[in-house]
């Protein structure tokens, strides 16, 4: 098994995942668009195909692999985002294209740079296929990376995806120097928002209190290494979204995720006040200070 893994994506996250498997003695093959090799030919006889590309790249990767994936190959999605065209999660896109293959979601409080530096971390691998989840757990587990299994892939995936929106709000909060009390309130109500729409999507409430939910939320909302946090912080400093994104290394998935969540929340009357204000902030309809005033002046209600 050690040399029968392929990682799709040579960015920071793909590199981090590669290093994790190497700790455990694996020698994974890495594919990227610039490697000059045909992806569909490289996946032959691989036990696991691990997708670590940005959300915008997922549909194109799926198209490249149509007709090439073998029935028993495990597809692991390590992408945190939502497809703007279909409103589907990455795992849902993979399942739609390859309904007979086991799909595993990998998500957790995993900052790429810290993993590349060899610092300890933990994550969750979730699937309806217990054997597939156990296999991926074995591939990634090491003394520096603790891996838990879970049987709620949609909940695990949504926790890691939706928290990016709250991370933009958290970066804004810190950029305005509003203090720890305000940030704690923001994260607590942000988690409630994540659970609210996550349950609508079919996720289990308890999943969002785990590593891929609360754990990832705390990490992403408190670390300057988080690209989504950097977006909010930059906006709070008076930069435009275009200026922030131009100086960002990598993709801030929360920007696109916010747009998709607004569509879903509006269509299904799901109450998401923080997401609404993040959306208005990203669109330039409101300034960061105005967003805070709007959030604090809402109608009184019970918790």
115 pLDDT band (50/70/90 cuts)?
Answer: very high
Domain assignment present for 102: yes
Model confidence pLDDT, tens digit, residues 242-276: 999 999 988 999 999 999 999 999 999 999 999 99
Q: How confident is residue 297, by pLDDT bands cut at 50, 70 and 90?
A: confident
Q: Tell me the mean pLDDT in the region 134-138.
A: 95
Number of folded domains in the chain? 2
Query: Does residue 302 lie in a domain region?
Result: no
Q: Is pLDDT at 53 greater than 90 in this prediction?
A: yes
**Chain mean pLDDT for the chain:** 94
| pLDDT of the residue at 1 | 52
For 187-207, the pLDDT digits (tens) are: 999 999 999 999 999 999 999
Q: What pLDDT is attached to residue 204?
A: 97
Asked if residue 172 and residue 132 are part of one domain, the reply reads: no
Q: Is 80 annotated as a binding residue?
A: yes
Q: Per the domain annotation, does 301 fall within a domain?
A: no
Q: Which of 177, 174, 133 is nearest to 156 (CA)?
A: 133
User: Is 121 inside any structural domain?
Assistant: yes
Does one domain contain both 92 and 129?
A: yes
pTM, entire model: 0.94
Give the CATH number, domain containing residue 130: 3.40.50.720
For residue 2, pLDDT over 60 is answered with no
Region of residue 202 (phi > 0: left; psi between -120 and 50: alpha; otherwise: beta): left
Q: Which domain holds residue 209?
A: 154-296
What does the pLDDT average to over 157-177? 96
Active site residue 183: no
253 labeled part of a ligand binding site: yes
**Distance between CA atoms of 30 and 7, rounded to whole angstroms?**
5
Tell me, yes or no, whether 145 and 250 share the same domain. no
3-state SS assignment for residue 69: coil
- pLDDT above 70: percentage of residues in the chain: 98
* 285 and 159, same domain (yes or no): yes
Residues 194 and 134 in one domain: no
Q: How far apart are CA 25 and CA 232, in angstroms?
A: 39
Residue 28: inside a domain, yes or no?
yes
Q: One of 19, 144, 163, 249 is an active-site residue; which one?
A: 163
**Edge-to-edge, what's the strand order for the sheet holding 103-107?**
29-31, 5-8, 48-51, 74-77, 103-107, 121-126, 145-150
Instruction: For residues 147 and 205, state if they share a domain.
Output: no
The verdict on 120 and 189 lying in the same domain is no
Shared domain check, 175 and 261? yes
Q: Is residue 231 part of a domain?
A: yes
Instruction: Residue 186: name the closest of 278, 64, 120 by CA.
Output: 278
Please answer whether residues 107 and 124 qualify as being in contact, where contact means their C-beta atoms are separated by less than 8 angstroms: yes
Q: What is the CATH number of the domain that holds 261?
A: 1.10.1040.10
Boundary-marking domain end, from 151, 176, 198: 151
Report whether 216 belongs to an annotated binding site.
yes
Residues 132 and 187 reside in one and the same domain: no
184 is in an annotated binding site: no
DSSP 139-154: HH-BTTEEEEEES-HH
Residues 216 and 146 in one domain: no
Is residue 303 in a domain? no
141 in a domain, yes or no? yes
33 is in an annotated binding site: yes
Q: What are the beta bridge partners of residue 49?
A: 6, 75
Last residue of a domain, one of 151, 166, 186: 151
Residue 227 marked in a binding site: yes
Query: Within this chain, do residues 147 and 192 fall inside the same structural domain, yes or no?
Result: no
Residues 145 and 160 in one domain: no
Is residue 24 over pLDDT 90?
no
Average pLDDT over residues 72-89: 96
């Amino acid at each position: 098994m050690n040399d029968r893994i392929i990682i799709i994506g040579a960015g920071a996250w793909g590199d981090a995942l590669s290093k994790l498997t190497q700790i455990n003695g694996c020698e994974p093959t890495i594919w990227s668009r610039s490697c000059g090799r045909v992806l569909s030919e490289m996946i032959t006889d691989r036990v696991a195909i691990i997708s670590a590309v940005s959300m915008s790249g997922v549909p194109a990767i799926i198209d490249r692999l149509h007709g090439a994936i073998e029935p028993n190959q495990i597809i692991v999605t390590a992408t945190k985002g939502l497809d703007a065209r279909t409103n589907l999660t990455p795992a849902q896109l993979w399942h739609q294209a390859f309904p007979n293959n086991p799909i595993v979601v990998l998500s957790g409080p995993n900052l790429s740079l810290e993993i590349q530096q060899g610092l300890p971390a933990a994550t969750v691998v979730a699937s309806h296929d217990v054997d597939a989840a156990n296999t991926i757990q074995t591939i990634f587990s090491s003394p520096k990376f603790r891996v838990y299994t879970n049987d709620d892939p949609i909940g695990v995936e949504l926790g890691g995806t939706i928290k990016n929106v709250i991370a933009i709000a958290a970066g804004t909060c810190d950029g305005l120097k509003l203090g720890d009390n305000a940030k704690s309130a923001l994260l607590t109500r942000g988690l409630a928002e994540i659970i609210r729409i996550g349950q609508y999507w079919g996720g289990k409430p308890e999943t969002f209190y785990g590593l891929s939910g609360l754990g990832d939320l705390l990490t992403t909302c408190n670390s300057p290494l988080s690209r989504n946090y950097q977006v909010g912080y930059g906006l709070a400093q008076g930069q435009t979204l275009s200026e922030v994104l131009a100086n960002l290394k990598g993709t801030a998935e929360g920007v696109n995720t916010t747009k998709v969540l607004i569509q879903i929340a509006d269509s299904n009357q799901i109450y998401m006040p923080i997401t609404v204000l993040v959306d208005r902030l990203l669109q330039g309809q409101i300034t960061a200070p105005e967003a805070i005033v709007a959030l604090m002046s809402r109608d009184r209600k019970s918790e």
